[in-house]
Amino acid sequence: MSNLYSQRGVSAQKEDVHEAIKNLDKGLFPNAFCKILPDFTAGDPNQSCIMHADTAGTKSVIAYLYWKETGDLSVWKGIAQDAMVMNIDDMICAGATTDFVLSSTIARNKNLIPAEVLSAVINGCEDLIREWKQFGIDIHMAGGETADVGDLVKTIDVGYTAFARLERNKVITIDPQPGDVILGFASFGQSSYETEPNSGIGCNGLTSARHDLLDKSYRNYPESYDPMMPEEVCYIGKYKLTDEAENGVAIGKLLLSPTRTFAPVVKKIIEKYSKNIHGIVHNTGGGQTKCLKYIVGNVRLVKDNLFSLPLVFKLIQEASHADYREMYQVFNMGNRLDIYTSLTIAEEIIELAATMNIKAQIIGRVESAEIKELVIKSEFGEFVY
């Protein structure tokens, strides 16, 4: 898959990005999941600020293709959710749980993306703000920029920037201790606040997923791929977006399943157990190995009880023939949130997640080690990172 990623113009581990930012200031709490800044807004030494920006990435290309083939505008609310979750759920890992200020940046090719699509994205965001408010997740929309930039963007790029203030003594850092357990939260299934089952795909690895799964007929949409991409890696799969997978769900719907937000359940967990939490990690870019980017000390994280692999990841692996070592580095593989905590409260947190119909379980443990490492033991083999 590494070679396929490179040929498709994608870096799975963002090596170039990490090299470019390696000398930047890491903020007040270098091992927090988000960069924590002083309270520049009011100068309060007891407060801090978090600002975060992200997009739905190339998942919007799949939404574009599905919309073109089916006319289904509902997928665009899902794209708004993808971009929102990639911000809000990163920030909850650092301890911010409400009063987010959100601004959008939507770039489109006006010749291909009409006003009805823009409305579906913008109104979808407003709907989500109302839906999440009932769980105490208050998001305040500050407006944003919608630009017609067909010279830069072939279809549409949907992104948000979020801001929040947070008391410094409530910042959550990532500092797993030997003896801690690792709680994993499923990215799949249907939570109490979702209207349909979630495939678990999230928002990462979609460039390769779509080219490995979808057939060459999608080359008829040149706006959906890089013209410099070699033909042998461009839409080389066997599926149409409307083909049904073995579970009866369309391939397009599996790939477009909106990224689940864990904000409602994590807010409750933080309110009750913040003193017992030694880190929260959102398994996005980097998949199950995301944790290694943040951990400072020399500990061994052993993940030996991960969830059974959801169908969407099985389909991707079968189509790409990727080895599982790399699959765990690219995709969440059904587990998109980790919490490091003590065994004594693990079961209580699992039960709390169950009240929102989110499956959580102890997926591993933290051990003493001479070097920082992650060990994944699964039915597909043992992998050390």
**pLDDT range class, residue 64, cuts 50, 70, 90:** very high
Whether the predicted pLDDT of 153 surpasses 80: yes
Lowest mean pLDDT among 15-19, 54-58, 326-330: 15-19
Whether the predicted pLDDT of 17 surpasses 60: no
**pLDDT range class, residue 309, cuts 50, 70, 90:** very high
Distances in Å between the Cα of 125 and the Cα atoms of 101, 118, 359, 368 are 13, 11, 26, 44
* Four-way CATH pick for 2-198+256-384: 1.10.10.10, 3.40.50.720, 2.60.40.10, 3.30.1330.10: 3.30.1330.10
**pLDDT range class, residue 19, cuts 50, 70, 90:** low
Half-sphere CA count of 250, side-chain side, radius 13 A: 14
Distances in Å between the Cα of 7 and the Cα atoms of 65, 207, 226 are 22, 11, 10
Whether the predicted pLDDT of 11 surpasses 90: no
Choose between 32 and 143: higher pLDDT.
Answer: 32
Give me the mean pLDDT over the 5-31 stretch. Answer: 71
Three-state secondary structure string covering 256-316: HCCCCCCHHHHHHHHHHHHHHEEEEEECCCCHHHHHHHCCCCCEEEEECCCCCCCHHHHHH
Give me the mean pLDDT over the 32-56 stretch. Answer: 97
- Residues sharing a CB contact under 8 Å with residue 103, sequence separation 6 or more, in sequence order: 141, 142, 143, 144, 160, 161, 162
Classify burial at 68, counting beta carbons within 10 Å of its beta carbon; exposed 0-12, middle 13-18, buried 19 or more.
middle
Whether the predicted pLDDT of 23 surpasses 70: no
The domain spans of the chain are: 2-198+256-384
User: Which pair of tokens denotes residue 14?
Assistant: 């963002």
Phi and psi, residue 292, nearest 5°: -65, -20
The pLDDT of residue 26 is 85
Give me the mean pLDDT over the 259-274 stretch. Answer: 98
Question: Across the chain, how many H-helices and E-strands are there?
Answer: 11, 12
Identify the residue whose tokens are 């379980």.
Answer: 361
Q: Per residue in 320-374, pLDDT tens?
A: 999 999 999 999 999 999 999 999 999 999 999 999 999 999 999 999 999 999 9
Record the pTM.
Answer: 0.93
The pLDDT of residue 99 is 97
Please tell me the distance from the alpha carbon of residue 81 to that of residue 79, in angstroms, as a whole number: 5
Please tell me the distance from the alpha carbon of residue 201 to that of residue 311, in angstroms, as a whole number: 10
Whether the predicted pLDDT of 9 surpasses 80: no
The pLDDT of residue 25 is 83
The pLDDT of residue 296 is 84
Q: Per residue in 76-101, pLDDT tens?
A: 999 999 999 999 999 999 999 999 99
Classify burial at 14, counting beta carbons within 10 Å of its beta carbon; exposed 0-12, middle 13-18, buried 19 or more.
middle
Strands lying side by side in the sheet with 139-148: 37-38, 47-55, 156-167, 100-108, 139-148
Q: Per residue in 163-212, pLDDT tens?
A: 999 999 999 999 999 999 999 999 999 999 999 999 999 999 999 999 99
Whether the predicted pLDDT of 68 surpasses 60: yes
Lowest mean pLDDT among 122-131, 288-297, 345-354: 288-297
pLDDT averaged over the chain?
A: 95
**pLDDT range class, residue 13, cuts 50, 70, 90:** low
Whether the predicted pLDDT of 310 surpasses 70: yes
Please tell me the distance from the alpha carbon of residue 170 to that of residue 242, in angstroms, as a whole number: 46
Q: Is 340 helix (H, G, I), strand (E, B) or coil?
A: strand
- Residues sharing a CB contact under 8 Å with residue 40, sequence separation 6 or more, in sequence order: 49
